[in-house]
Chains A and B, each alone.
Chain A
Amino acid sequence: GAGVSQSPRYKVAKRGQDVALRCDPISGHVSLFWYQQALGQGPEFLTYFQNEAQLDKSGLPSDRFFAERPEGSVSTLKIQRTQQEDSAVYLCASSLGTVGTNYGYTFGSGTRLTVV
């Protein structure tokens, strides 16, 4: 597609519920990133995929967070047993190259997760 698409746009989950957030990157983009943006904060890195390989998951805050990109295109970020502190906007970004910097990232509009 023309841009990075994320769904759902908004998600309200009851505490303890599992959620799945979807990211459709730009077609052909090798690199895919997930970021978490808490209210009033800048985005924080969660994880990185190069094609289907998850090369960096150092930013995932706990083992309740899991991400996959099985065919090297669409990615899903799953959060198990959601907690209130998981409330944030989850941003997905993709990049054409494997060293993303020189190509730049294209961000999606994000999924706003509210845990009640």
Chain B
Amino acid sequence: AQSVTQLDSQVPVFEEAPVELRCNYSSSVSVYLFWYVQYPNQGLQLLLKYLSGSTLVESINGFEAEFNKSQTSFHLRKPSVHISDTAEYFCAVSDLGTSGTYKYIFGTGTRLKVLA
């Protein structure tokens, strides 16, 4: 079974500074990878996903992630963060369940706190 590791439970960073949130997954077979964001008292929102093709994927709000098959990583980066980026970020990998449907395996999350 797949597993996802997010090594950093909390990442404090000053506003307008760059940030990288790390994610490693367990398998080198073909996978689908995702980043979700969770704002306080809200549900998970899809930030970006890698299914195939270009290894660099981008979101509409300036985040990007690069799929690295050799390092089994899918780190999330943003060159300049805003206060509004403060949230919990979850990395997820798809896993083919017994029903033949892909279900998510989530990491434990990284809490990004942007400081003024």
Q: Please report A residues at the B interface, Cβ cutoff 8 Å.
A: 4, 31, 33, 35, 40-45, 48, 50, 55-56, 58, 91, 93, 98-102, 104-105, 107-110
Contacts and interface: CB of A to CB of B under 8 A. Distances in A.
Given A4-B43, A50-B101, A107-B45, A101 B106 contact: no
B90 A42 contact: yes
Interface residues of B, number: 29
A43 B90 contact: yes
Interface in B1-37: 4, 6, 9, 32, 36
Nearest to B111: A40
A41 B6 CA distance: 11
Contact of A107 (B44, B51, B98, B105): B44
B101 A99 contact: yes
Nearest to A46: B103
B81 to A, nearest CB: 22
B115 interface: no
Contacts of A104: 46, 49
- Of A44, A58, A101, A102, most buried by chain B (CB within 10 Å of CB) is A101
Given A44-B106, A56-B103, A110 B43 contact: yes
Given A40-B108, A42-B90, A42-B108, A100 B45 contact: no
A104 B98 CA distance: 19
